[in-house]
Structure 1
């Protein structure tokens, strides 16, 4: 069965319509000037559980990540981690004035 409701009714009857969607009914929400919305239940309600990998597998995965990061070692040599600013303070002020007018 399909239930069609305007947005105002959907907001008022949210709990009831959410239950209907969860039972498998199709809920269509009509909005003025915008395409309609379809409310559907999430496919799976399972929450990810704890990591079930063995200690050895977790260590092997960590080594893989470390080696992948290490492939950029040469490119990163000598870099101190500081990113220079893209504009000076004066350039930022000038851009602000051009876009928004003088600061008050």
Structure 2
């Protein structure tokens, strides 16, 4: 089933139900396919664990490169500094 994105906005519930039944639902823009709706498949515990390991390994590349120390963070602006910056950019509030 091919549906224009504008039409899909009004028929979303119907399209989701069709995808859940196993029908192929493709959303198009200007006649060109853009997105395919598909139901989320249930993952086994082993598959979930594998995803978690991959994510942790990816995040692990930052270990030792990013500090938890707040000293690395820029200090917050005071209300007065925010007001001055706003006035410089947009002019005084009326």
TM-score normalized by the length of structure 2: 0.45
TM-score normalized by the length of structure 1: 0.42
